Amino acid sequence: MFRVGQGWLIYEITGNPWSLGLVGAANAIPGIFFNLFGGVFADRLDKRRLIMFTQLTTGSLVFLLATLTLLDVVEAWHVLVVAFLAGGVEAFDNPARQALYPHLIDRKAMISAVAMNSVIWQGTRIIAPGIAGILIDLINTQSALYISGIGFVVLAVVMGRLKIPAIPRGALGNPLQDIKEGLKFIKVHSVFSFLISMTFFNSFFGMAYVMLMPIFAVDILDVGAKGQGLLLGMSGAGALVNTLYIGARGSVPHRGLAIIAGAVLFGLSVAAFALTAEYVGSLSLAMGLMFIMGIFNSLYMISIQSSLQIMVPDRMRGRVMGFYGMTWSIMPLGGLQASALTSIWNAPIAIAAGGLSVAAFALGTSVFNSTVRNLSSNLSPIIDEAPQDTALEPAVQKDD
């Protein structure tokens, strides 16, 4: 709801497609730089308390933006500053979540657990954009922002009551050296390089349509805020259906091929959505294609995330997931490149080009990287020996 609200707000203020890209860039830039440090902190600190802090901080920023909107003093630069600060906080939140996750479940149930976690996330993708669109259309933008802020506070309270087993954490050292060690680990194990690169292409090119959705809803399909909520909700619905199937099955057969095929079909679906919206102009067709996009996107993203969670050793998880999270932080920046292409051509061509880029990268990589093609359903952690100068100490995390 926060993303939908701030995107709608700045487009309402400026009416300029570039503003959507700018707010995306403002949100992405701090994540690009700080996600790596967030990964180091996740390996060193109490993960639960770190997540509580980030949620309360983000909630405060959302409440601030909502209040400025309520008082009718909000300006475009306010939206940009809040987006920038929220992006910085998120850079420390995501690695902590990803590093905490495997300690709560059995590795054998990882694919089902990732799928069920995705069910919750995809469910919010269906519900939240729809609620945000309805609230904006029937009441005002600040109402959607206030409700979003409450959600962050609720999550912080839940984390405070969560009982977590003792987790070893790394000894204090040079953060830059820790980041360098994480990068070396990824380079040595090429499968991680591919999985993280695939996520980058998904975030930077494939998901750029999210940032430009107000243009499709208002200027192309003429369906307004409620229509935008429906379109984004259909993408979430497709992802939810496929995620439930994967979770019930408990595995993804031929995992490597599923990642490649899912990425290719997702990219082609994105291109089809963008071009048919422009040249056919049918809301029902657009919704159908968004549903298909959600199915294929969830197929390969669940496979990538679960593969990382299973194969990355505990000692490196925060840092590797920091690099992984950095690719997600780049997603709003993808809106900036799509906005630039929109100013040269138009939004449908910009989004179609992004989708085709995802498909081309997946196909090209599959030709040269047999390790990825041969990923199976049964994975095990990569064996990684801790260096002699790295000490581990217990981090007993108790319920308050």
- Cα 42 from Cα 49, distance rounded (Å): 10
- Cα 239 from Cα 123, distance rounded (Å): 9
Q: Taken in order 12, 17, 20, 25, is the CA torsion positive or negative?
A: negative
CB 192, CB 320: distance < 8 Å: yes
Enumerate residue ranges in the chain where pLDDT < 50: 388-400
- Cα 42 from Cα 325, distance rounded (Å): 12
Q: How far is CA 323 from the centre of its chain?
A: 13
CB 209, CB 297: distance < 8 Å: no
Question: What is residue 256's predicted lDDT score, i.e. its pLDDT?
Answer: 84
Question: What is residue 318's predicted lDDT score, i.e. its pLDDT?
Answer: 79
CATH for 2-382, among 3.40.50.2300, 1.20.144.10, 3.40.50.2000, 1.20.1250.20?
1.20.1250.20
Question: What is residue 192's predicted lDDT score, i.e. its pLDDT?
Answer: 87
Question: What is residue 240's predicted lDDT score, i.e. its pLDDT?
Answer: 82
Supply the DSSP symbol for 314. Answer: G
CB 324, CB 32: distance < 8 Å: no
In the Cβ-directed half-sphere of 295, how many Cα atoms lie within 13 Å? Answer: 14
**For residue 131, which amino acid is it?**
I
CB 40, CB 98: distance < 8 Å: no
> Both tokens of residue 35?
């996600």
Domain ranges of the chain: 2-382
209-227 burial, b for 16+ CB within 10 Å, e for fewer? bbbbbbbbbbebbebebeb
Predicted structure pTM score? 0.72
> Both tokens of residue 128?
């939240």
Cβ burial, residue 126 (10 Å; 0-12/13-18/19+): buried
Question: What is residue 395's predicted lDDT score, i.e. its pLDDT?
Answer: 40
- Per the prediction, the chain carries an average pLDDT of 81
